[in-house]
Chain A
Amino acid sequence: MTVPAIVMMIVFCSLVWGGFLSFLSFVWRIEKRKTKDRPEERSF
């Protein structure tokens, strides 16, 4: 693979998958906190 292709692959995979996983962990932490605060509201 060429260097520009490797760079672009890293950039787009980080943006798309990194963005998705970051939001997923953000929501996960919030839901965990909510469950702790309100145990009657269990998620998942």
Chain B
Amino acid sequence: MKEIFTSRWSLLLAALGMAIGTGNIWRFPRVVAQNGGAAFLIPWFLFLFLWSIPLLIVEFGMGKKTRMGTIGAFGRMNPRNTWMGGFVGLCTLAITFYYCVVTGWCFRYCLASLIDMVAPGGPLPMGNLWCAETTVFWTAFTGTKWQPVLFHLAGILTGSWIIYHGVVRGIERANRLLIPILFVLLVIAAVRAVSLPGAAEGLNFLFEPRWGELLNYRVWLEGLSQSAWSTGAGWGLILTYAVYMRKNDDIVANSFLAGLGNNSASLLAAIAIIPTVFAVLPAEQALSVVTDTGPASTGLTFIWIPRLFEQVSGGRYFLFLFFLALAIAALSSLISMIELGTRIVMDFGISRHRGIVIVGSACFLFGLPSAISPAFFQNQDWVWSVGLLLSGLFFSATVIRYGVDRFRRELVDCPDSDMKLGPLFNFAVKFLIPIEFLAMLGWWFTQAILRFDPERWWHPFRTFSVGTCMFQWGILILILVVLNRPIRRLLFERNGIPAGRIGGKEHQ
């Protein structure tokens, strides 16, 4: 039976669930604070239109037209590019492996804050979250090894259980429930934060325009990186959801809604967090707290947030609501990631239920090293989050080869479209995205060479080296290029799908 979203709203909620993840809540407020407040918001907002939305449109167009996961979609656009679809899919799957671990952390903290809320000082084996020693709690949690593994498994089982029920009864129902709740929680947290005495100082810090920062290229590159990672553009996730779009559904307005909805959630999270920090702590300490990365960039969220809420009246309840929002954001993104893997497996003729078992087992096994070793987690986060930029370039390259104008006319501007694309889209895909890719890749590699690992940046087995990126990407690309033809044969010829470029009468 063909699976299709029952309504446009279901697709939009699923797209929002995909885009709004933990990065909106724990990365965005920190990056804003580190890069000049309101000055950072300008590039962050601009690059939504210059990188993220064009790529979301490309993904929607490819998924809707080809009705296949990343590998099949790239293969149908151009058989020689099948390996690029493989890279996009496997890059996102590599992120899924450690994102399950992150989801497990969020579940653990949500549970701990719930126990603290209903039974203050409750019987938690690792000690109480509701205490000044939040670092002790974090260290005890990650130090046991079995706990991160257990919650990693809980994350996978929850996500897989939802995907097991299919598109309508699983993905659609889950997002209809999760996304409205997430927005309500974020609004409650933001209203509570701005009503705290002293919150104005935090709002000042967040919105005070430090115009000089706009001359700093770092602010622009951070804005571009945040927009690229946060919206999920170029990950292949929207492409996967677009496979289940209704035939007459519009692409352009949906892409704008997904992008703007993601940015709305980020702004709400920043308004919820930064004023709380400034309301509770003296200004100098507040500044160092909001820019603290901590272990695996979790310092602000897992170390400081519990300490801060401790000093706010009714803080126990708000701490639980905060971690509930974080767990929901993580889960809604994880669902889309597991579905990406399942869709790819299903394209090879395997049933959804078997596909879930394969993808779920792979997530558990390949996520284990990240659950156990923080260094491995950080290495994977570095390699594959920068790899996503390459994924974005592959989308752009495939559309350029297909013909950007042809893509726009045939795949996006359909007769039923609510909004038509202008020629600016051609310019964005042809020129802006490749230039932005080069700027971002150059920036992150320069950071690695000058700041992260200046002495051994070329080394393939260092956590944050350029060498480790080149090594892992190189192996993956080599395998995929060698297997390009057999994969095409398995995917298209065995299933009776005409391999080759889409378009023409057969696809009308």
Q: Which residues of A contact B45 (CB under 8 A)?
A: 12, 15-16
Complex Cα gap A9–B41 (Å) = 10
Complex Cα gap A42–B8 (Å) = 10
Mark interface residues in B37-79 (1 if CB within 8 Å of A CB, else 0): 0100100010000000000000000000000000000000000
Say whether B38 contacts A17, CB under 8 Å: no
Q: Which residues of A contact B12 (CB under 8 A)?
A: 27
Complex Cα gap A17–B268 (Å) = 9
Say whether A43 contacts B203, CB under 8 Å: no
Q: Does B200 contact A (CB under 8 A)?
A: yes
Q: How far is the CB of A2 from chain B (nearest CB, A)?
A: 6
Say whether A27 contacts B207, CB under 8 Å: no
Complex Cα gap A1–B209 (Å) = 12
Complex Cα gap A4–B207 (Å) = 8
Complex Cα gap A27–B417 (Å) = 11
The answer to whether residues A30 and B7 also contact, given A12-B38, A23-B257 and a CB cut-off of 8 A, is no
Nearest chain B residue, comparing its CB with the CB of A35: B7
Say whether B263 contacts A8, CB under 8 Å: no
Chain A: how many interface residues by the 8 Å CB criterion? Answer: 23
Complex Cα gap A13–B263 (Å) = 10
Say whether A8 contacts B209, CB under 8 Å: yes
Mark interface residues in A1-36 (1 if CB within 8 Å of B CB, else 0): 110111011001101110110011011001100000
Interface residues, chain A, CB within 8 Å of chain B?
1-2, 4-6, 8-9, 12-13, 15-17, 19-20, 23-24, 26-27, 30-31, 42-44
Complex Cα gap A3–B269 (Å) = 23
Q: How far is the CB of A1 from chain B (nearest CB, A)?
A: 5
Complex Cα gap A31–B254 (Å) = 12
Q: Does B267 contact A (CB under 8 A)?
A: yes
Say whether A27 contacts B208, CB under 8 Å: no
Say whether A27 contacts B260, CB under 8 Å: no
Nearest chain A residue, comparing its CB with the CB of B39: A8
Q: Which residues of A contact B203 (CB under 8 A)?
A: 1, 5, 9
Complex Cα gap A4–B206 (Å) = 11
Q: A5-B209, A24-B257, A26-B418 are in contact. List 5 more A-B contacts (CB 8 A).
A: A8-B209, A12-B207, A23-B260, A30-B253, A43-B9
Q: Does B216 contact A (CB under 8 A)?
A: no
Q: How far is the CB of A7 from chain B (nearest CB, A)?
A: 8
Say whether A16 contacts B263, CB under 8 Å: yes
Q: Does B161 contact A (CB under 8 A)?
A: no
Complex Cα gap A23–B252 (Å) = 11
Q: Does B256 contact A (CB under 8 A)?
A: yes
